[in-house]
Amino acid sequence: MAHVPTAPTGDTGKRVTVNGIDMYYEERGTGAPVLLLHGGIVDHRSWRFQIRELAQHFRVLAPDTRAHGRSTDTGQPLSYELFAADVVAFLRALGIDRTHIVGFSDGGATGLLLGAEQPALVDQLVCISSPYHTSNYREGIIEFLAKITPETLYRTVGPEYRTAMTMAEALHPNRESWLAFWRRVVNGLWTRQPDMPLDRLADVRVPTLVLHAEHEQFYAREHSEEMARTIPDARLEIIAGATHAAPLERPNEVNAAILRFLSERCGSNRSMTTGAARL
């Protein structure tokens, strides 16, 4: 059954039809486009610290992935390939030929596929807390994800990401809808994908910044290091003090790293600086 999102008072976004779904997105700022691809389970609001900062320099587009947030769903199996196809259709629908992409976790996995398969669409890529293959996960994580309940994950992550998940849950019409969605994403998709072979990363021929959290719970630093080594034009930065949810936990540091990276290659934005993150 297709996910039917609610539209609370204060809904300020737009919608566009792509690949049979009604995709919701927020748009802020002007200039070169930056596409923000959020992580699994949550929605575009998990980028709240980044949207306001980046929108001072760029045209920021923050969609809800299919079946997530306020975007609808066709009920077909979820995959990063499907998410990537939705992104391509989304950009075409908006008449955008090329964009920077910043992806967190699931969004970064989608970004890697786009960098490998649609490099003409991607100006620069930032991957935050993003594995490229399920083999990256620490021992026992796949088994953990196959059985985990929302309550268990709420106790595992920090308060910022717990709040983002609670906000996403509130958009579902009832508990049964939320749990069905949870099973599709957490107990399903996350146990099967991403599945990009290491040598496939060599096809990501776009400038790439890999951001790894110092205290990442799900996979080791060595996998981010090998990602940065294998992508032809990539570098690795460590976000000190952060766990998996770095954009929410260390927004100032994440924003500064993104802006430094983008400014190096955007001549008109070389003077960009970042201030304190604000709600």
Asked whether residue 1 carries a pLDDT value surpassing 50, the answer given is: no
Cβ neighbours of 70 (radius 10 Å): 25
Residue 9, pLDDT score: 37
Distance (Å, rounded) from C-alpha 278 to C-alpha 67? 28
- Domains of the chain are 14-265 (3.40.50.1820)
Asked whether residue 96 carries a pLDDT value surpassing 80, the answer given is: yes
- For 152-168, the pLDDT digits (tens) are 888 888 888 889 999 99
For 128-193, the DSSP string reads ES--SBGGGBPTTHHHHHHH--HHHHHHHS-HHHHHHHHHHHTTSSSHHHHHHHHHHIIIIIHHH-
pTM for the predicted model, two decimal places: 0.92
Distance (Å, rounded) from C-alpha 57 to C-alpha 130? 25
Most distant CA pair in the chain: distance in Å?
50
- Model confidence at 3, in pLDDT bands (50, 70, 90)? low
Given a contact cutoff of 8 angstroms between Cβ atoms, the answer to whether 75 and 96 are in contact is no
Q: Give 195's DSSP letter.
A: B
Asked whether residue 32 carries a pLDDT value surpassing 80, the answer given is: yes
- For 151-209, the pLDDT digits (tens) are 988 888 888 888 999 999 999 999 999 999 999 999 999 999 999 999 999 999 999 99
Residue 11, pLDDT score: 58
